[in-house]
Chain A
Amino acid sequence: MNQENPQDELADLEISFTLNDSQVRVSIKPWETALETLRNKFGLTGVKEGCGIGECGACTIVMDGKAVNGCLILAAQLDGRTVETVEGLSSNGTMNYLQKAFLDKGGVQCGFCTPGMLMSAKALLDECDQPSKKVITNALSGNLCRCAGYVQIVDAVEEAALIKSKDAEDQAVNR
């Protein structure tokens, strides 16, 4: 795409940040959004555009531990930050506990909201060990889903929280 767009030759900002555990450096336009950069420059098409105005949450990424809308963040704001996208959740092709819980509880239908949901859930569970249902629904209320009616998504996040706390207990015992 870069060769196609003559304006890309005029890129005038260079940023570097940690993207899914790798250090990256990239040239961007000052007006480019994080969503555009992640999709177009890094091929991270798991970051979805549903509305472009921060209403649907499909482009949610985790930046320095917080869930943010990729469409509302300028690419320039990624400089020096730690950024996580859905592509960073699996390791060596194996899904993590959160993804497995979504699969197990039927939390995926069309799948377009799924990456954003996962990232909002990840930010929550990284910060909070055993969130109540209310805490979960609040934390995820910026993510719209039109297929699933949210029920199995809440079930999945609750299940993931359980797995996570059980893993933590097991680790403590083994130590």
Chain B
Amino acid sequence: MTDTNFSQSSSSIGLNISRVGAEEKLQGKALFANDVVLKNALCLKALRSELPHAVIESIEVQRAINSPGCVAVFTGRDIPGKNRYGLINKDQPLLADTKVRFVGDPVALVAAVSEDAAQTALSKIKVEYKELAAVFDPEEALAPGAPLIHEKGNLLGKRLIKKGVPDLAFQKADIVIERKYQTTFVEHAYLEPDAGAAFVDQSGRITIYASTQNPHYDQVDVAKLLGLPENMVRIIQTATGGGFGSKLDINTQGFLGLAAYLLKRPVKMTYSREEAFLCTSKRHPLKIVYKSAANKDGRLLAIDVKIIGDTGAYASYGLAVVTRSAVHATGPYEVPNVHVESVFAYTNNSIAGAMRGFGVPQMAFAHESQMDLLAEALAVSPLEIRARNILRLGSTTATKQTLTASVGIGACIEAIAPHYEQIKKSIELTKTKNLRGVGLGCMMYGIGNTGVQNPSTAQVELQPDGTITLFSGAADIGQGSSTVLTQIAATELGLDSNKIDLVTADTGMTTSAGATSASRQTYISGNAVLDAVSKLKEMLLTEAATMLRTGRASLTLKNGRIENISNNALFVTLEQVVRKAVTEGIPLKWQGFFDPDTTPLDPDTGEGNPYATFAFAAQLAEIEIDVLTGEVTVTKVVAAHDVGKAINPDCVKGQIYGGVAMGLGFALMEEFAPGKTVSLKDYHVPTFSDMPDVHAIIVEDAEPTGPYGAKGVGEPALIPTAPAILNAIADALGSRIYFLPANLERIMKAIHSGTSKPLKIKLMV
């Protein structure tokens, strides 16, 4: 656990600055998308397919148009640009043109004077369908003769990772364990249903207020849908009530843009919770066949992993999940021989896209279960088998990337080890009515997009009054990027963080910072901010040195002044420098840029350096099971996360607590049935009462290329929790569950599977 020491005066790095925007949120003043009031705005509602796969024969809209209060009804034919969008593959129509591909596919859009009028108009649209055979399983979708969902075929994508000679290693191994793991669709369940509002400004630009994680991407795809140049579309992110990946897609933005553009009137659209369930992207369900080989000392020799994923009707971020799940198949372990094949297919299920972790939470469930199975078979402790195999400095990953810095998995395991041993002992010593167990979950996570460029930009401007404005395209969706970026800028400029004015996530005011995804904003946008601010700082020091007739090296920035390090009576203020800069035509606004150093993956072998840095984590879960009901109570989670450097420890902990909650839901209760799950009554997320005692431990193995050593934590927070809980369940029951979520039914089946401990215990009782 190293701690980078920056002896900067007035540094706010490592301080728990209150979250930017929190005061407005606490007073009910923060404007979320549905709170934006545009005068005389029309209400938009989409008519959605109730069939999973059908050809549209006709759409009759006249009765709807004639209904009171209805202003317009749009179909696919009304889209002026190209009726296809998507984060990677442009395969999704804004409004169906020839056919529908899942229950929830939008077919028509109504604009009306009120919500009631819109609802009435919707009910009057008549669509004639010719139903097509549908397919709901990715393996069936790839079989010969399967119904064709897209013209180019049902294969979304495939990724191979090859390292060493796995076949030989499997032959020589002392032990080989192969299991099949399965997960279901999972819903993001952000508290704020998707919403937005739009109008055409005086210059004719379509201005869209949206709940989004991805304003600059939204701008590009909305412009393409409308056939407009990008600068004719402006996206302004409103306060965003959570996203977790699903607000990376265009949800309401395309509809808003279309109606505002065609009607030249303000419009508003708010998804019902039902629509947020049915129509937005989900976590991919994966089938994972995982084969591990080890020698009798518990050293991993090889893995052979086959991943089959269901991306549903459209690709969304699916292709990124194909690759990221494959790249992360080893977990945080050094495996000399690797073969991974990841294949994803289209089906007529709901869309699966990005959800916190991009396939890694599913993979961690598999690799961590495998580690415990190996440990058990070899009579090594779960802690020990992990410690023997973890990645270290100099290790190579599955893609043959050599790790040269900031590999904190060992430190994370060491941090939770005493807690693990203590709980283990307590379980052995205390007899309880309920079964108790403890389990481990470890993970690695590559920060930023996989093997592709994903730069961020930022600007910092010194204002005439000496104040500082920071411009970043990064969308803060609650995780705290605005706070972290402010802290970085303030620290570099020797200011308190409340002295920085921040402008974010408005395509009219900021340049792209890339998506708020892949745990990338602290590392990538943090570095872009650092770059911009360093350039401003250079200018300030240079000018101040001239003004003070001294060397730059003797100066420092502190409290809005540039002063002599050894004599703070010698100083100039920022205002004084501005005055000089203005008269001499010296730039006041500086541009920053950062793109992580990566290389693309080889298409045949997967070889490459897909990430510039990795986050690591180890968690333990302690659980109790009521053998009569199958109810699992998670009593404690200890979560150690190597974040490089915690710029704001409370924000880091907030991410860890939230990740643990989401991981607990993934482990025990969350299962989305496409076309069926439509409300929070059918879909349970963890409540206050479900939360264990969570002990968050921040490990700081500084990343030399990170801002102040920082990496990221957003997705890592969630990844180890479900594996730790599932391993704890196996520890308690003596039998293992291979299907998530481990709901009551699956727990009861495991209890009564005949091979588990509880039957014996019950007999003894």
Contacts and interface: CB of A to CB of B under 8 A. Distances in A.
Contacts of A90: 27
Contacts of B685: 144, 146
A145 B27 contact: no
A6 B29 CA distance: 29
Interface centre among B114, B116, B477, B662 (most CB of A within 10 A): B114
Contacts of A12: none
Given A55-B680, A151-B691, A154-B688, A111 B69 contact: no
A111 B242 CA distance: 9
B681 A95 contact: no
Interface stretch (B143-151, B184-192, B338-346, B536-544): B184-192
A131 interface: no
B108 to A, nearest CB: 22
A3 B477 CA distance: 34
Nearest to A105: B650
B307 to A, nearest CB: 27
Given A50-B193, A152-B653, A86 B680 contact: no
A37 B18 CA distance: 33
Interface in B187-211: 188-193
B479 interface: yes
Interface string B112-124: 0110110000000
Contact of A114 (B16, B25, B661): B25
A95 B27 contact: yes
A87 B244 CA distance: 28
Contacts of B22: 102-103, 108, 111
A46 B28 contact: yes
Given A50-B273, A146-B658, A109 B26 contact: no
B239 A111 contact: yes
A6 B680 CA distance: 33
B191 A58 contact: yes
A56 interface: yes
B28 A110 contact: no
Interface stretch (B32-40, B127-135, B754-762): B32-40
The binding surface of chain B is classed by DSSP as loop
B658 A109 contact: yes
A152 B240 CA distance: 20
Contacts of B654: 106, 109, 147-149, 152
Contacts of B680: 51, 53, 55-56, 144
Interface in B234-270: 239-242, 244
A141 B241 CA distance: 19
Contact of A144 (B117, B191, B239): B191
Interface in A61-103: 85-87, 89-90, 95, 99, 102-103
B717 to A, nearest CB: 9
Contacts, number: 187
Contacts of B117: 5
A44 to B, nearest CB: 7
A60 B729 CA distance: 36
Interface in B87-142: 113-114, 116-117
Most A CB contacts (10 A, CB to CB) among B190, B478, B479, B689 go to: B478
A111 B694 contact: no
Contacts of B659: 149
Given A109-B19, A137-B689, A86 B651 contact: no
B26 A45 contact: no
A103 B26 contact: yes
Given A50-B192, A109-B19, A148 B28 contact: no
A175 B354 CA distance: 59
Contacts of A137: 688-689, 691
A4 B39 CA distance: 9
A43 B36 CA distance: 11
B200 to A, nearest CB: 18
Contact of A141 (B19, B29, B480, B688): B688
Contacts of A4: 40, 113-114
Nearest to B651: A106
Contacts of B241: 48, 110-113
Given A7-B116, A110-B477, A99 B26 contact: yes
Nearest to B660: A149
Contacts of A136: 688
Contact of B191 (A45, A86, A108, A145): A145
A110 B191 contact: yes
Interface in A116-173: 118, 136-138, 140-141, 143-154
Nearest to B663: A149
B471 interface: no
Contacts of A58: 191
Given A53-B680, A55-B679, A148-B654, A112 B27 contact: no
A130 to B, nearest CB: 18
A87 B650 CA distance: 26
Contact of A45 (B31, B480, B651, B661): B31
A131 B24 CA distance: 27
B242 to A, nearest CB: 4
B10 interface: no
Given A109-B19, A146-B191, A152 B116 contact: no
A102 B19 CA distance: 11
Nearest to B476: A110
A152 B26 contact: no
B675 interface: no
Contact of A112 (B116, B192, B662, B681): B192
A114 B689 CA distance: 18
A136 B687 CA distance: 12
B295 interface: no
B18 A103 contact: yes
A115 B116 contact: no
B707 to A, nearest CB: 21
B650 A106 contact: yes
Contacts of A118: 26
A89 B241 CA distance: 21
B57 interface: no
Nearest to B717: A149
From A103, A148, A149, residue with most partner B Cβ within 10 Å: A149
Nearest to B664: A149
Contacts of A95: 23, 26-27
Contacts of A144: 191, 680, 685, 687
Contacts of B19: 106, 108-109
A69 to B, nearest CB: 12
A48 B241 CA distance: 10
A19 B224 CA distance: 47
10 contacts: A5-B113, A6-B68, A44-B28, A45-B28, A49-B193, A53-B273, A58-B191, A106-B654, A141-B689, A150-B688
Interface of A: 1, 3-7, 43-53, 55-56, 58, 85-87, 89-90, 95, 99, 102-104, 106, 108-115, 118, 136-138, 140-141, 143-154
Given A145-B658, A146-B189, 6 more contacts: A110-B191, A110-B241, A111-B21, A137-B689, A149-B661, A152-B650
